[in-house]
Structure 1
Amino acid sequence: MPQKKIALIFLLLNIFAINFTFAQKINEVDKIVAKYPKNFDSTEKLADRIEKDFDSDAERARAIYSWIAFNIRYDYNAYLNPPRVQGFSYSTEAEKQRKIKQLNDNLIQKAFNSKKAVCEGFTALYQNLAEQVGLKCEIVKGDSKTRLADIGRKNTSSNHAWNMVLINKKWRLIDVTWGQGYYDSNKGRMVNDFNPIYFDTDPDYFFAKHFPDSGSFLGSRLSKDDFLNGPLIYNKTIENDYKIKTPSSGIMEVKNGDKITVEIKNVSKSNQVFYLNKKNQPVKVQNPKEKRGALEFQILIDSNVGNYITIFVDTDSIVSFKIV
C-alpha cells in the first residue's frame, strides 16, 4: 500500500478516535451534572462546583449547558404575555452601562432562582456562568425557524437568542433554550426533554434554523434567502446527520403530474421512508435508490398532496417542503 494512503488512513482513524473519546467524556459530563442539586445558593456556588469537577473548557461549557437544560424550564406564559420593556433615564454613559448591567443581573437572578425563563434568560445565565469559569461567551440575537409557516417567509424578525462560546480557539454555537425541551402543540404545554444536539451544533444545521440579526457569522455573510426559503429541518435530522442534498429550496413550484426528486444523506433502503398526504395518511416512497451514501427517491405531485410535504424516516419527521 502506498505510503501516502497509509498516512491518510492513520490520520482518519486518529480523528475518529479523538471524536469518540470526546463524545464519551461529554456523556460522562451529563451523568455527573444530572446528580447536581437543582438549587444552589448562588451562580458563584454553581460555577465553583463546575470548575472543581471539570478540567477542560469543553467539559465546563457542556456542564453549564446540561445544568441549565436539566433545571431551567421555558416560561411559555411569559412568552405569550411578555412583560413591559423597562425604560430608564441616565445622564452619563457610565450610568447607562451601570443600569444595563443591573437589568441583566436581575434577569440572570430571576432565571436562576425561579427556574423559569425565555430565551433571553437562558442565554444571559449561560453567559454569566461561562464567564465565571473562565470562558469567553457571547449572546447572539436573531430569528428562528420552527414551523411549516416559516418556509418562504418574506422577512426575518428578532425573536430568539442563543450563545457562542470559545472552546479550544474555536467559536461553538449553543442554543440551551432548545436544549431543555420543546412546546407540544397537541398537549398545549412545554415538554421537558433534554436534547444535546444544540451544544456545539454544526453551523450548516444551526443556520438552517437560526439567522442572526447581524446577518453574519465570524465575519462571513449568511444567506437570508437560504434561511427564509430553505426547507424546514427537525431535531432528528441534526442528530442523525441526515443532510438534505436535494432539493435545496424549501419551496416547490409544481403542477399535477410533476415529480420531486429528494436525496437525503445517511438514509438507506433499510429505513422506512414515507410522507403524509393531505389526509394525514402515510405514503411510502416508491423505488428508492441508494446513491453515494444517500437515499434518492421521487414524490409524485397529485391531488392527494397538501400544501406541505413532510418526509419521515422511521417515524421521525426529517424535512418539510412547501408546495406551491
Structure 2
Amino acid sequence: MPQKKIAFIFLLLNSIFLNYTFAQKINEVDKIVAKYPKNFATTEKLAERIEKDFNSDYDKARAIYSWMAFNIKYDFNAFLNPPRTQGFSYSTEAEKQRKIKQINDNLIEKTFKSQKAVCEGFTALYQHLTSLVGLKCEIIRGDSKISVRDIGRKTTSSNHAWNMVLIDKKWVLVDVTWGQGYYDSSKGRMVADFSSIYFDTDPDYFFAKHFPDSGSYLGNRLSKEDFLDGPLIYNKTIEFDYKIKSPESGLIEVKRGDKITFEIKNVSKSNQVFYLNKYNKPVKVQNSKEKRGGLEFQILYDANVGEYITIFIDTNSIVSFKIVSK
C-alpha cells in the first residue's frame, strides 16, 4: 500500500492547529498493561503474559491494543521516505503464498523489535498477536478522512489500514495506528499520547473517518458520498459522544448574511462553545439554546468567516465544515 499519502500529512500538520487532545480515560486493562515491560523477547511471550492476566476475549484484544499503543510508535521517517516495494518471482501458487507469508512475518518481526512502524506494521502485528491468543482478526485497507481539505473530496484513495477483530461473535473495529499518539509540528516529532477511542469504536464514528476499499462493512454497503461530503469529526467528538445533528453535510452552501444553524448532542450551556474566524481568532457562540439533549446555535456568515468553520467545545476541536459561497 502506498505510504506517502498527502491525506496523512494533513492529519499530522493539523493535529496541533486544531487542538487534537489525545489523553483518554484509562481502564483497568490499560492500567495492568501499562506495567508490562516495554520489550518482550518474542511475540509469544507477550501473548502468554496477556493470556495469564486476562480471561475474556474482549480484555485480551484490548490489552494487545493498549500494549501496542503504549509502546509502538509511528515511524514518521519511514512515512516520509518509504522503502521500495519488495517484489519477488514465483513459479507456483504455493511458492507465492510462502513468499507473501515470509514478507508479512518479516514486517511483524521488524515492527515488534524496532517498536516503530507505519499503519501496515501496526495492523500486521495486531493481527498476529490476536491470533496468538486465539482470536480471529482481519486487516482492512481504505481511505482516511483526517483534514478539512478532505471535506468534499471527489474520490477515495487507499491510504490507510486498520483491523477488525471477532469477539463474542461480534466484529470490533480497531485502529492502533491512531491510538498511539500524534505529530507535533511545533517540535517536529511524534508525541506519545495514548488514546482509547480507536478500540471498539462506534461504527457511525469510525466510518465518518474511514472508508474501506471494499465499500462495505459486514456485507452492508457504505455511502461513499456521505464519507466524502460529511463533516470532519475529531477525537473529542468520539470520546464525549458529541453527535453532530445539523448541518448533516460537511459542505455548507450559503451567501453572505445567511445564518447557519448548528445542533450538537450532549452539549449544554455550561460548555464553552466557539469557532475560529479567518484571522484565526476565537469567536464565542452567542444566543445558544438547549434542545433535545444538546445545543442549538447559529453563526452568521459574514466577511470574517473563512473557507472552513471548526466548532470548539471547551478548547477542543469537535467538528469542521467547508463553506461553499453561493
TM-score (norm 1): 0.91
- The percent of aligned pairs where both chains have the same amino acid is 81
1:98 aligns with 98
**1:189 matched to which residue of 2?**
189
1:232 lines up with 2:232 in the alignment: yes
Distance 1:186 1:307, change over 3 A: farther
Question: Comparing both chains, which one has the higher relative contact order based on Cα–Cα distances under 8 Å and sequence gaps of 6 or more?
Answer: 2
> Aligned AA for 1:232?
L
Structure 1 counterpart of 2:69: 69
Is 1:263 aligned to residue 263 of structure 2? yes
CA-CA distance at 1:90 after TM superposition: 0.5
Match of 2:301 in 1: 301
Q: In the alignment, residue 207 of structure 2 is paired with which amino acid?
A: F
Aligned residues: 300
Deviation of 1:170 after TM superposition, in Å, equals 0.5
TM-score, length of structure 2 as denominator length:
0.91
- Aligned partners of 1:162, 1:293: CA distance in 2, in Å? 33
Per-residue deviation, 1:28: 1.1
How far the C-alpha of 1:190 sits from its partner, in A, is 1.3
Q: Secondary structure at the match of 1:197?
A: coil
Q: Distance in 2 between matches of 1:231 and 1:181?
A: 23
Distance 2:188 2:318 in 1: 22
Higher mean alpha-carbon deviation, 185-194 vs 53-62, is at 185-194
Q: CA deviation at 1:60?
A: 0.2
**CA 1:34–1:159 in 2, change beyond 3 Å: closer, same or farther?**
same
Give ranges in structure 2 of 5+ residues lacking alignment: 1-24
How far the C-alpha of 1:111 sits from its partner, in A, is 0.3
Report the CA distance between 1:223 and its aligned residue: 0.5
Q: Secondary structure at the match of 2:96?
A: helix
CA distance in 2: counterparts of 1:302 and 1:40, whole angstroms: 58
* In structure 2, distance between residues paired with 1:157 and 1:189: 26
1:299 CA drift (Å): 0.6
Select the structure of larger CA radius of gyration.
Answer: 1
Q: Offset of 1:69 from its aligned partner?
A: 0.3
Q: Which amino acid aligns with 1:210?
A: H
Unpaired runs of 5+ residues, structure 1, are 1-23
| CA offset digits 1:165-190 (Å, max 9, x no partner) | 01111000000000001122333321
* Alignment match, 1:135: 135
Give the SS at the match of 1:286. coil
Q: Which has the higher helix share?
A: 1
Between the aligned partners of 1:87 and 1:215, the Cα distance in structure 2 is: 28
Residue in 1 aligned with 2:172?
172
Deviations 1:109-131 (A, max 9, x none): 00000010000000000000000
State the match for 2:152 in structure 1.
Answer: 152
